[in-house]
A = this chain, B = another copy of it.
Amino acid sequence: MNLVGDWWTLLILRDAFFGAQRFGEFQASLGVARNILANRLDGLVRSSILARQGPPRRPRYTLTDKGRALLPALVALQQWGDVWASPNGAPILVTDEAGAVLQPVELRSRRGPVDATNVRFVAGPDATARTRAFLAAVAGERP
């Protein structure tokens, strides 16, 4: 969340996946103020989510492996919007290289697909005491 949980940052990443690479492309597409865009791009580069390439005077911003790894999360969010919040159908289709539309992202364990109502959250080995306390508190609330 600290790295990508920001309004403009998420939109910049979306455009990056669409293929935008230049400062001007992001600016024209998003209509964001230049100083804000520069700030967000800088943050994404410092987080190694985008890489600055080419001449310093006219760089291209490209997704790193770390950045590309965000695609499932963004596609899942887009699919949610298409189904639950888009009045007239999906404006943009996400496909594979052959043009086949992607299936809805789903949660799976080794035992197969997992429905949202069956998902559980448990403290990991490195969870803080605060996290454990919170999970225990809300778990006891609705058995």
Contact = CB atoms under 8 A, between A and B. Distances in A.
Contacts of A121: 17-19, 92-95
A118 interface: yes
Interface in A64-93: 66, 68-73, 75-77, 79-81, 83-85, 88-93
Can you tell how many copies of this chain the complex includes? 2
Interface string A99-143: 111111111111100101111111111111001001101110110
A96 to B, nearest CB: 4
Interface of A: 1-7, 10-11, 15, 17-22, 25, 29, 47, 66, 68-73, 75-77, 79-81, 83-85, 88-111, 114, 116-128, 131, 134-135, 137-139, 141-142
